[in-house]
Chains A and B, each alone.
Chain A
Amino acid sequence: MRLLTVLYDRGAAQLIRAWRRSLHFRVVSVTLVSSTLLVVTFSWLLASQITAAQVGSRLTEAQKQLEQGRSYLEPQFRDRGDAADPGLNGFLRYATALLVPADPTAYYVLLEPTNKDFLKAVKPQSPQIEDTRAAQDAVPADLRQTIEHSRKSAYQYVRADPDGRGERPFIVVGTTVNSAMGQYSLFYLYPLDEQVDSASSVRTTVFVAGLALVLLLALLSALITHLVVGPVRIAARTAQRLSAGLLDQRMEVRGEDDLAALATSFNQMAANLQRQINRLEEMSRLQRRFTSDVSHELRTPLTTVRMAADMLFANREDFDPLAARSAELLQAELDRFEDLLTDLLEISRYDAGFAVLDTEAVDLVPIVNRVVERLRPLADRANVELRTVVPDEPVIAEVDPRRIERVLRNLVGNAVEHGEARPVVVTLADGDGAAAVTVRDHGIGLNTGEDKLVFNRFWRADPSRARQTGGTGLGLSISLEDARLHGGWLEAWGAPQLGAQFRLTVPLRAGDRLLSSPLPLVPEDAEPRLGPIPPDEPSRGVRHAS
């Protein structure tokens, strides 16, 4: 039983899916249902009309016969008056036998006394039917009453079996026949076999014709839809191939109709698309090539310069003070130049769209610890306390460890630089398929709207502020790209004088979509002062005042 329901549900679900997906299926089924409805209604009307006409003519004939029978019997009965007449039953048998038609099964005659007193002496007569009882049973009681009271002829349709040939429809027509001794009822039982047969044959014909019509219509609609849907499906398939990168896919143009116009415009669109994409690809390829070349062409001489500067710097004690100072400046500025070049090349790699994510499953805990340990000397110089909050369990995520480490280095470095000698807290947590790291500082914080600006290239919170670590101004932009490459988020929160918090969230499994972050963006210690005042705060204030 349950299996049946399941099967039924599955079938229904499949039907619904087919309905939604296939225009073909929809058109054919709508045609099928509507034409079936039409054909059923039409054939029902037709069959009932024909039957009614046939039965009507049969009734007229029956009434005519009945009238004839009555007008024959009445003069006969005028002479035979006495109920005590011993020959009465014989006479009745004789008289009714004369009413029997040439074809004895065309209809049946039944004569019975209407008056009840009469019953004992007079027997009902049914010359064609041996069992008179059966013939009498075929006459419904209400018809008898109607005739008795109105003394007119009446009829009724019944299902009966007077002759033992099976129950079937009859018209029973009846009337009263008067005689000197009392009243008789005369009934004619007309079988409707012929009418029923012909009605059912009409119905069969109409049904078969209707079925054929419905099938034909379904076939026709399928054919027409196929003619229309076919090219549309081909267009859809071609579009799919186009979007999958097979840019030279085209549709076949046949004839000059609407579908040919569709194919022509489709092909035009594809050609334009192909041209545009090829141009963009060429541009991107050139930029990639350029980035790669610039990278190589710049790095090799820079290496030589770097090594030369280091040699000079190492031997600066042997120089005169001016040359020694120059060597120091050269060394320091080369560091900055190198950092800037590295960052510029990295960001142009993102712009050219050829940064690749190289993921592996790694534990994020040691990465966080390593980043913090490496920046501890810098933090000590800036008098910033560096704290970490990491889970005891490993947090294993499929990430590009070099990029994650670079992002964290950037965030922690920034926090130390803007930390105003107050503690910086680095927190790692995981949950719901994501891992998050927040870096919280308690420095001057960010003004409204700056939480988006910080990710802009070369953006600085305060251009006049002295720079300590001499960042390139590209760090957060690159970090944002790194986070995006992971399918992750990098967000900033900040409020004036409350400090700032940066949150990096990445999915634990590469390629998963992020839905939420296991850590809040707005730190808990900053929230009450930012949000609406909690309800108990003002009441406490009132109590103080009173």
Chain B
Amino acid sequence: MRARVLVVDDDPALAEMLGIVLRSEGFAPSFVADGERALPAFREARPDIVLLDLMLPGMSGIDVCRLIRAESGVPIVMLTAKSDTVDIVLGLESGADDYVVKPFKPKELVARVRARLRQGGDNTPEVLTVGPVGSQVIIDVPAHTVIREGEEVKLTPLEFDLLVALARKPRQVFTREVLLEQVWGYRHAADTRLVNVHVQRLRAKIERDPERPEIILTVRGVGYKAGVA
């Protein structure tokens, strides 16, 4: 089964080149060049992963990202020409799981796509509990569900993996680099923005008060850890 990749990019040459690279790596790409047609194309193609350019005619990549995220947890990798923190953080906050800055090497892109597709293969029958009594979160690993106060919380696969990584070893402090390696599959990378934004997004979904987190705690200067009773 070849993984389906939806490429949202308005530059025909780049789109074609991406197609060549993806096909040669064994993916099944489909293309859309317009921001406004991106969502219908997404619904039709049902891709396993989306490659999304941030600068698009019609509708900005940020908005497209939000719309897709609103109805699906499918992995989204942003392609951006802007490496400024503002742009990257904005993209990540709108729901992207990862990003690559142009110009990127084909190998790098393929590695990111593979890493994003690999996740969720964990089927250990395991139920984890994190957080202090009263605001505990229960994680059913094989079922991919998270329950807070009796209600299921919708997490993207990446957010789920991040939570599970922290919850499996409560009290242990994870540096951002370790999380990047375990959750994103990076080696020797130090993009703390990626971790910070996703932790914020996760907190917004599972914490009672994201301003005063109880489940994912920040350890100043080091990283994050899961809070326990």
Q: Which residues of A pack against B, CB within 8 Å?
A: 292, 295-296, 299-308, 310-311, 338, 356, 358, 360-363, 366-367, 370, 373-374, 394, 396, 401-402, 405
User: How many angstroms from the CA of A396 to the CA of B223 in the assembled complex?
Assistant: 12
- In the assembled complex, how far is the CB of residue A88 from the closest CB belonging to chain B, in whole angstroms? 116
Interface pair B86/A356, CB less than 8 Å apart: yes
Which residues of chain B have C-beta atoms less than 8 A from A396's C-beta?
220-221
B129 within 8 A of A: no
Pick from B13, B105, B175: contact of A366, CB under 8 Å: B175
Give the top 4 A-B pairs by smallest Cβ distance, nearest first: A396-B221, A299-B102, A299-B81, A296-B81
- In the assembled complex, how far is the CB of residue B108 from the closest CB belonging to chain A, in whole angstroms? 10
Interface pair A405/B190, CB less than 8 Å apart: yes
Interface pair B190/A370, CB less than 8 Å apart: yes
12 new A-B contacts, CB < 8 A, other than A370-B177, A396-B221, are A301-B13, A303-B14, A303-B79, A310-B105, A311-B24, A356-B86, A361-B220, A363-B221, A363-B222, A367-B190, A373-B188, A394-B222
B120 within 8 A of A: no
User: How many angstroms from the CA of A370 to the CA of B178 in the assembled complex?
Assistant: 13
B150 within 8 A of A: no
Interface pair A300/B11, CB less than 8 Å apart: yes
Most buried by B among A295, A304, A338, A402: A304
Interface pair A300/B221, CB less than 8 Å apart: no
**Who on chain B is nearest to A364 by CB?**
B221
Which residues of chain A have C-beta atoms less than 8 A from B188's C-beta?
370, 373-374
Q: Which residues of B pack against A, CB within 8 Å?
A: 11, 13-14, 17-18, 20-21, 24, 55, 79, 81-82, 84-86, 102-107, 175, 177, 188, 190-193, 196, 220-222
Interface pair A362/B85, CB less than 8 Å apart: no
**Who on chain A is nearest to B177 by CB?**
A366
**Who on chain B is nearest to A360 by CB?**
B192
Pick from A310, A356, A374, A394: contact of B221, CB under 8 Å: A394
- In the assembled complex, how far is the CB of residue B104 from the closest CB belonging to chain A, in whole angstroms? 6
Interface pair A299/B103, CB less than 8 Å apart: yes
Interface pair A295/B104, CB less than 8 Å apart: no
Which residues of chain B have C-beta atoms less than 8 A from A292's C-beta?
82
User: How many angstroms from the CA of A295 to the CA of B18 in the assembled complex?
Assistant: 20
- In the assembled complex, how far is the CB of residue A507 from the closest CB belonging to chain B, in whole angstroms? 15
Interface pair A300/B196, CB less than 8 Å apart: no
User: How many angstroms from the CA of A362 to the CA of B17 in the assembled complex?
Assistant: 39
Interface pair A300/B81, CB less than 8 Å apart: yes
Interface pair B103/A302, CB less than 8 Å apart: yes
Pick from B104, B175, B193: contact of A303, CB under 8 Å: B104
Pick from A296, A311, A363, A366: contact of B20, CB under 8 Å: A311
Interface pair B85/A401, CB less than 8 Å apart: no
Question: Mind listing 11 A-B residue pairs with CB under 8 Å?
Answer: A300-B81, A300-B102, A303-B102, A303-B103, A306-B103, A307-B21, A361-B220, A362-B192, A370-B177, A394-B222, A401-B190
Interface pair B86/A307, CB less than 8 Å apart: no
Which residues of chain B have C-beta atoms less than 8 A from A401's C-beta?
190, 192
